Chain A
Amino acid sequence: MYAFDLARPTSVADALKALQEEDAQPLAGGQTLVPTLKARLAAPSTLVSLRGISEMQGVCHDDQGRIHIGAATTHAAVEREVAKDYPGLAALAGQIGDPAVRNRGTIGGSLANNDPSACYPAAALGSGATIVTNAREIPADDFFEGMFTTVLEEDELIFSVRFPVPKVSAYAKFAQPASRFALTGVFVAQFDDGVRVAVTGASEDGVFRWSEAEDALGRDFSADAVAGLSVPAEGMIGDLHGTPEYRAHLVGVMTRRAVAAAG
């Protein structure tokens, strides 16, 4: 690792001030960033730890029934705290990595990183969540720009994520057994005004909505309704774990499993 300073602010105001410094970078759970630093793929001057900022921790509800999750809330805390009110999201958080990763990794870090195989991007896009930063509110539909890229500006900090709660939902993940990331994962959510289907792990452009399946499920919310649909293999990720054709096939299978699990 290159040398850097570690700042531990206790308020958002102090964190934003610390991030003004040249080459400063936020550190949330470090479960992605620490391995990146070890590989010398990043060379920040200062890491600004978000863990001590209580304003960025925890889960609360608003009067419209939406769930607000602080960006520095760990996967383990989300799994525990939304289990009753948003079981589909809790189950997704509980499938990320392993227990030690879930005790440190955070929702804000996962969304900012936008790994094409990460789980939370599917939940955010599949729920129609809103990413709240220090500067603005960004609908999930506009947030993800492609592999490891988002619309976040330099020095922009995710503050919280706001989730509308669907009637039913489920995440079906085909885990890549070595990394435990999604080889392909599908989040399905049924709202009063329609169904959302978000696919992670499959596309070279990162997480995406499968609109054809959304339309079919909007008419008939059953695994059979999507049985005849498929996505083209073109643009899907091909690597030693699976070909583009295999991933395209998994998109259909995991969508049906998610719908069946959501019931």
Chain B
Amino acid sequence: MTKVSMTVNGKPATAEAKGNTLLVDYLREGLGLTGTHVGCDTSQCGACVVHVDGEAVKACSIFALEAEGAEITTIEGMAAPDGTLSAIQQAFQDYHGLQCGFCTPGMVMSAAALLKENPRPSEQEVRDYLEGNLCRCTGYHNIVRAIMAASGQESAVAAE
């Protein structure tokens, strides 16, 4: 065990990790940040997506030691400190972009990465970008609607 430090949601964080400790276990068990979910543990589902130095990464597929010194953003870092939801989170609520909510942290983190790269994506671009995020409740249409709305393109997704 060694102490591993990184910046998580803007604050310095330190917890113990072994060579084979995954980033997602470091976050959930080391730091108690259980918002990042583990859906498959086989790199397929995207429930564990966090940002590492600004890029979307599956936290179940990298080791904590590889992220030493990095800037990490998790779902817990998306809302303002007073609890006000980010535009993407608010849109997920407004457009019923979640059902059980298990996939939602990864969906929101992938959506945030997309909108940073491409602030006004087409619906197809949203769908392509979410290729690695699976929703077992299959709420994909509303997830896409929420992301379109969060990008200020509400008219394109008028509720059916």
Contact = CB atoms under 8 A, between A and B. Distances in A.
B146 to A, nearest CB: 18
Contacts of B57: 100, 103-104
A31 B57 CA distance: 10
Interface in B20-78: 20, 22, 41-43, 46, 49, 55-58, 60-63, 65-66, 68
Contact of A6 (B41, B43, B65): B65
Given A6-B63, A35-B43, A101-B43, 20 more contacts: A2-B20, A4-B19, A6-B19, A30-B66, A31-B43, A31-B61, A34-B61, A34-B63, A37-B20, A38-B42, A46-B19, A51-B66, A98-B46, A99-B114, A99-B131, A100-B46, A100-B56, A100-B58, A100-B110, A103-B56
B61 A30 contact: yes
Given A4-B20, A34-B62, A99 B56 contact: yes
A154 interface: no
B121 interface: no
Nearest to B66: A49
20 contacts: A1-B20, A6-B20, A6-B66, A8-B68, A30-B62, A30-B66, A31-B61, A34-B60, A34-B61, A35-B61, A38-B42, A47-B19, A49-B65, A49-B66, A98-B133, A99-B56, A99-B129, A100-B46, A103-B56, A180-B131
Interface string A10-52: 0000000000000000000011001101100000001101010
B113 interface: yes
Interface of A: 1-6, 8, 30-31, 34-35, 37-38, 46-47, 49, 51, 76, 97-101, 103-104, 180
Task: Sort A-B residue pairs by CB-CB distance and give the 4 closest, nearest first.
Answer: A98-B132, A6-B19, A98-B131, A103-B55
A19 B127 CA distance: 41
Given A99-B129, A100-B132, A3 B58 contact: no
Contacts of A37: 20
Interface residues of B, number: 27
Nearest to A74: B55
Interface string B5-30: 00000000000001110100000000
B14 to A, nearest CB: 17
Contacts of A49: 65-66
Residue among B43, B58, B113, B129 with most chain A CB within 10 A? B43
A1 B60 CA distance: 12
A3 B61 CA distance: 16
Given A35-B42, A99-B56, A3 B62 contact: no
Nearest to B133: A98
